[in-house]
Amino acid sequence: MLIEFTDLSYRGRFGFRVDFSDSIAQKYILQGVAKAVEPNGKNPRPLKRKESGKKKVKPSPYDKMIRNPSIDKSLRVEPFQTRFTRVAWVADLPPRPWGAELSNAQVIKVGRDIGYEIVEVNQKNFVNHQVIKDADVVILNNLFMLGEQQFTRLLEVLMGEDKPYVRYEHDFSFCKWRQPPCMGKMDGKGDICGSCNVHLTPQNFRQQEIYRRLFSRATLSVFISPMHRDIHERAIGEYNIEPYHILTPPVDVDRFHMNGSETERESDLIVSTAGKLNPTGGDKKGWSNVSAFIDDHPEFKYEIYTLLHPEIQAWKSLNHFNVSLREPIPWEMLPEVYQRSSKCLFLPNMPDAAGRTVIEAALCGCEPIMNDMVGAKSFPKERIDFDNIDIMRAQIERGPYDFWKAVDRYCV
């Protein structure tokens, strides 16, 4: 069916007149953004408009990913027609410059670019349950910070409507710590490991059971690294997480990139940007590993961006003249740090599901030094190639598109 877009934003994406299948055309007509055009051309408006003096509309990132000849054919995005429109994206916290929320922003941006109508639901507007009821598909994202009443109400609405939903996990919500020290290897003394058992409250236990139910009933489970998926399988069972999709961690490749001048890079500078190195708080981010590496490699200079914990400052005063301690910096400034550094340390003591830090650093030409607790390291080379930045950039950039293709495949 030939349609004519009346909405300027859709014209910029698809053109003035487009011949779609009847179902897709009807969708846009019902949305009020287009009208049907007689195929014999009787519509008085010309097919091509003269737009002298007007700037051409730039192709969308989706168009670039489809048509970019510089991208290896195996990495290009294949266009697909969406089979649903309305998406409710449910998360516990509103957008902010933290890892999970930054990843969400990339995936949501691509989803809207493809054509989905995505409404974000979080603690600020959680009372709007009608959005969930009206949605074709619900994406359940981070839910850890929801209050018990909000959590209960969400389940009631979700189960009552019997909607297809995707459980897109960023952390390890089955664990009280969100980063399981046991790596999901339960000790046979119940449903949880001994590390959590000591501190578990009745509310924690109910929460764990709810998370298991959410996974087992999900139309699709989404994880952000093979390690992330494997730990969930060990903890809650393979039958609870299938079918699943592993999303390449979404990173803004237009922000994190080489600066074009390698002469500005300091070959002897190593940075650590973990931000919360805390020797007495469980040492999740691996201060003990970072300090040991520095002691073993005194020939380098180091910049450590972290909260200035008293123990770290005391350590610095013990003849570590090659180390500069600095306050954490805004996310937007990280590319500048990576672009002038040779290596980036990320050596957590507990599993980090994705490891955005090492991906962002690598895209800037800064070699990551990481251990097996970093999710990004568990990807095979055909998914994340740390040895070839151009290929890696394409791999990372197509991640959100593969996410939406998986959702479209399983949720219709």
Domains held by the chain: number: 3
> How do residues 100-129 score in pLDDT, each as one tens digit?
888 999 999 999 998 899 999 887 776 667
Give the whole-angstrom CA distance, residue 13 versus residue 347: 43
Gap between the terminal Cα atoms of the chain: 23
For residue 128 the two structure tokens come to: 């709007």
Same domain, 230 and 116: yes
Give the whole-angstrom CA distance, residue 66 versus residue 210: 40
Q: Where do we find the tokens 């058992």?
A: 197
Nearest alpha carbon to residue 358 among 227, 235, 260, 217: 227
Give the whole-angstrom CA distance, residue 336 versus residue 342: 12
Go through the chain and tell me how many residues it has: 412
> How do residues 145-204 score in pLDDT, each as one tens digit?
777 777 777 878 887 777 899 999 888 776 766 666 665 554 444 445 555 543 444 555
Does any domain span residue 133? Answer: yes
Cβ of 173: how many Cβ atoms within 10 Å? Answer: 20
Same domain, 220 and 93: yes
Mean pLDDT, range 325-333, rounded to an integer: 89
Does any domain span residue 75? Answer: no
Domain boundary among 58, 75, 95: 58
The reported pLDDT for the residue numbered 368 is: 96
The reported pLDDT for the residue numbered 204 is: 56
CB 378 within 8 A of CB 227: yes
β-strand pairing of 266-275 with 341-346: parallel
CA 374 to chain centre: 15
Same domain, 93 and 232: yes
246: buried, middle or exposed (CB in 10 Å: 19+, 13-18, 0-12)?
buried
Q: Write the DSSP symbol of residue 17.
A: E
Confidence label for 310 from pLDDT (cuts 50, 70 and 90)? confident
Does any domain span residue 72? Answer: no
Same domain, 18 and 94: no
Instruction: Quote the Cα angle for 125-211-94, to 5°.
Output: 25
Q: Is the pLDDT reported for residue 2 higher than 70?
A: yes
Same domain, 170 and 293: no
Give the whole-angstrom CA distance, residue 7 versus residue 208: 46
Q: List, in sequence order, every residue forming a beta bridge with 120; answer none if it has no partner.
A: 89
Query: Quick check: helix, strand or coil at residue 194?
Result: helix
Mean pLDDT, range 27-35, rounded to an integer: 79
Instruction: Quote the Cα angle for 50-51-55, to 5°.
Output: 155
Give the whole-angstrom CA distance, residue 361 versus residue 165: 33
Q: Is the pLDDT reported for residue 19 higher than 70?
A: yes
Please name the residues in contact with 319: beta carbons below 8 A apart, sequence gap of 6 or more: none
Confidence label for 48 from pLDDT (cuts 50, 70 and 90)? very low
Give the whole-angstrom CA distance, residue 138 versus residue 163: 7
Instruction: Quote the Cα angle for 85-408-118, to 5°.
Output: 35
The reported pLDDT for the residue numbered 163 is: 83
Give the whole-angstrom CA distance, residue 95 versus residue 289: 31
Q: Is the pLDDT reported for residue 216 higher than 70?
A: yes
Nearest alpha carbon to residue 389 among 355, 360, 410, 409: 360
Does any domain span residue 394? Answer: no
Same domain, 21 and 95: no
The reported pLDDT for the residue numbered 97 is: 67
Same domain, 291 and 334: yes
Q: Is the pLDDT reported for residue 320 higher than 80?
A: yes
CB 170 within 8 A of CB 99: yes
Same domain, 52 and 95: no
Same domain, 404 and 366: no
The reported pLDDT for the residue numbered 296 is: 95
**What CATH number is attached to the domain comprising 325?**
3.40.50.2000
Does any domain span residue 23? Answer: yes
Same domain, 288 and 222: no
Q: Please count the CA atoms within 13 angstroms of the CA of 113 that sit on its side-chain side.
A: 19
Mean pLDDT, the chain, integer: 79
Mean pLDDT, range 331-339, rounded to an integer: 93
Domain range enclosing 314: 262-378
> How do residues 61-86 score in pLDDT, each as one tens digit?
445 454 454 555 566 666 767 888 89
Question: pTM higher than 0.85 for the full model?
Answer: no
For residue 347 the two structure tokens come to: 């050596």
> How do residues 261-289 score in pLDDT, each as one tens digit?
666 789 999 999 987 787 776 688 888 99
Q: Please count the CA atoms within 13 angstroms of the CA of 26 that sit on its side-chain side.
A: 5
Does any domain span residue 67? Answer: no
Mean pLDDT, range 206-211, rounded to an integer: 68
Task: Give the range among 26-30, 40-44, 120-124, 330-334 with minimum mean pLDDT.
Answer: 40-44
Q: Is the pLDDT reported for residue 293 higher than 90?
A: yes
CB 248 within 8 A of CB 394: no
Omega of the bond leading into 243 within 30 degrees of 0 (cis): yes
CB 338 within 8 A of CB 344: yes
Same domain, 234 and 273: no
Give the whole-angstrom CA distance, residue 249 versus residue 3: 37
Does any domain span residue 343? Answer: yes
Same domain, 52 and 90: no
Give the whole-angstrom CA distance, residue 322 versus residue 366: 19
Does any domain span residue 14? Answer: yes
Higher pLDDT: 363 or 96? It is: 363
